Structure 1
Amino acid sequence: MSQQKLDTVNAQADRAYLRLSRKFGQLRLHHLERRNLLIQNIPGFWGQAFRNHPQLASFLSQHDKKILSYLHSLDVEELGLARLGYKIKFYFARNPFFQNKVLIKEYGCGPSGQVVSRSTPIQWLPGQDVQALSQGDSDNLFSFFWWFSNHSSIESDKIVEIINEELWPNPLQYYLLSEGAPGKKGTEVGESPEQQPKESSEANQSK
């Protein structure tokens, strides 16, 4: 009888957890959609946030930085209530590098529980394929865009970790950093952005 009661309590707890997850998931989605609309009104926001992030910047070639200047929106979607995976969507304006409007990198669990990844094939325009450009060019020995076709390396896992845990939760702090600056906490989204440039200016004057 006690096991029966325990099963009933567990079932009630599972239903309550699902209700709360859906409720707060909807609230979070509402705020993320509002944030995305605000960011889209700031030209070059995501490209600058990528360039300014102390770790992500190390994965960017000069060619990557030009491409990312056309990135107008980023979205990270959690797969399942238990966060079993992530789908990262990069939305690009029309550009001279590739035909895709959206590039997607997805991480999830395979049939046997192992982590697997899938991605959108990049439809490079003639002369813009980063792999071809890297040959014999010391300025393009590596590229962030290799990550889309790389499904096994440690660097690939590191990039998705940085985007999910640092850049996506609070991109404003990296947008406000000076390019190449050491990592530090900026203002939270929703605080007055005018305060951060003022602090940076004062720091430069004191040097």
Structure 2
Amino acid sequence: MAEVDHAALEAVQEEIEALAKLTEDAELEIALKRNELMTPVFEKRREIIAKIPKFWPTVLQLSDAFSTLIEEHDLPVLEHLTDVWVKNDPKDARLFDIVFTFSENPYFTNKEVIKRVLVRKDEDGEDEPYGADFKIDWKEGKDLTNLKRKKDEESSPSSFFEWFNDEDVNLAQFIVQDFFPEALSIYTNGGEDDFGDDQSEDLEDEEDEDEEEEEEEHPKKKSKK
């Protein structure tokens, strides 16, 4: 059996990792340039759709990606949604804010509800994106993320607004890469241009995994006879 040249293997692996790093850096530079070029176009679009009644509530409901997140009790709140905007960091394409602007409403006092994506170091020292918490100032008795569960429900009712305190960035990245750029197409084509099918499946899979983990951590107690 031929002797393995470990030094050669290590050298090749180092070259692969170096090229991967260069590729990643190049992709980030391209993303920054794309953001710079697209922002004025999105601002022009923003002025146009501001004149369309209920544009953003309509687009959200047309998007398959949000079908697993928006509950019936969220709809009256989302009726007050007047704008959705992606604010990119000018120096790092991995960092951004997704800003949801609301008109005055009976649910919370925030004018803006923000999903902020930042980057931190993981256990291996690698950059890891995560969603930072955001505090929604709910008015008394209006907090949709803290509804009392019914007797026949295993967990508290979900709400679209729980997402603003979730570290998961999959939906945030989908909004930035697909939903926000294609919002006008989703609206004009009745949702046919939505790219949310795969995203919806991913979200459902994640919810199933979370439920399985919760059941493992907190097994149901047997009822007493």
Q: Same fold (TM over 0.5)?
A: yes
- Residue 159 of structure 1 aligns to a residue whose secondary structure is helix
Instruction: Quote the residue 2:220 is aligned against.
Output: none
Q: Do structure 1's residue 49 and structure 2's residue 59 form an aligned pair? A: yes
Q: Which amino acid aligns with 1:185?
A: D
- Residue 83 of structure 2 aligns to a residue whose secondary structure is strand
CA displacement, residues 53-99 of structure 1 (integer Å, 9 cap, x when unaligned): 01212210012122111111111122244412221111110011100
Equivalent residue for 2:145, pick from 131, 143, 146: 131
Equivalent residue for 1:141, pick from 157, 173, 180: 157
Instruction: Quote the residue 2:129 is aligned against.
Output: 115
Q: Do structure 1's residue 184 and structure 2's residue 192 form an aligned pair? A: yes
Q: Which runs of 5+ in 2 are unaligned?
A: 1-28, 195-225
The CA distance in 2 between the partners of 1:115 and 1:74, in whole Å, is 21
Shift in Å, 1:132 = 2.9
TM-score (norm 2): 0.62
The CA distance in 1 between the partners of 2:176 and 2:35, in whole Å, is 16
Question: Is the Cα contact below 8 Å between 1:134 and 1:142 reproduced in 2?
Answer: no
Shift in Å, 1:150 = 1.8
The CA distance in 2 between the partners of 1:127 and 1:177, in whole Å, is 38
Question: Is the Cα contact below 8 Å between 1:103 and 1:119 reproduced in 2?
Answer: no
The CA distance in 1 between the partners of 2:183 and 2:134, in whole Å, is 24
The alignment-based identity, stated in percent, is 24
The CA distance in 2 between the partners of 1:173 and 1:29, in whole Å, is 17
Shift in Å, 1:148 = 0.8
> Over alpha carbons, which structure has the higher Rg?
2
Instruction: Quote the residue 2:79 is aligned against.
Output: 69
The CA distance in 2 between the partners of 1:134 and 1:164, in whole Å, is 33
The CA distance in 2 between the partners of 1:110 and 1:41, in whole Å, is 39
Q: Which amino acid aligns with 2:134?
A: T
Q: In angstroms, what is the RMSD of aligned CA positions?
A: 2.8
Q: 1:25/1:165 Cα in 2 relative to 1: closer, same or farther (>3 Å)?
A: closer
Equivalent residue for 2:171, pick from 150, 159, 165: 159
The CA distance in 1 between the partners of 2:147 and 2:111, in whole Å, is 22
The CA distance in 2 between the partners of 1:27 and 1:80, in whole Å, is 12
TM-score (norm 1): 0.67
The CA distance in 1 between the partners of 2:106 and 2:145, in whole Å, is 16
Q: Which runs of 5+ in 1 are unaligned?
A: 1-17, 187-207
Shift in Å, 1:129 = 0.5
Q: 1:58/1:176 Cα in 2 relative to 1: closer, same or farther (>3 Å)?
A: farther
Shift in Å, 1:184 = 2.8
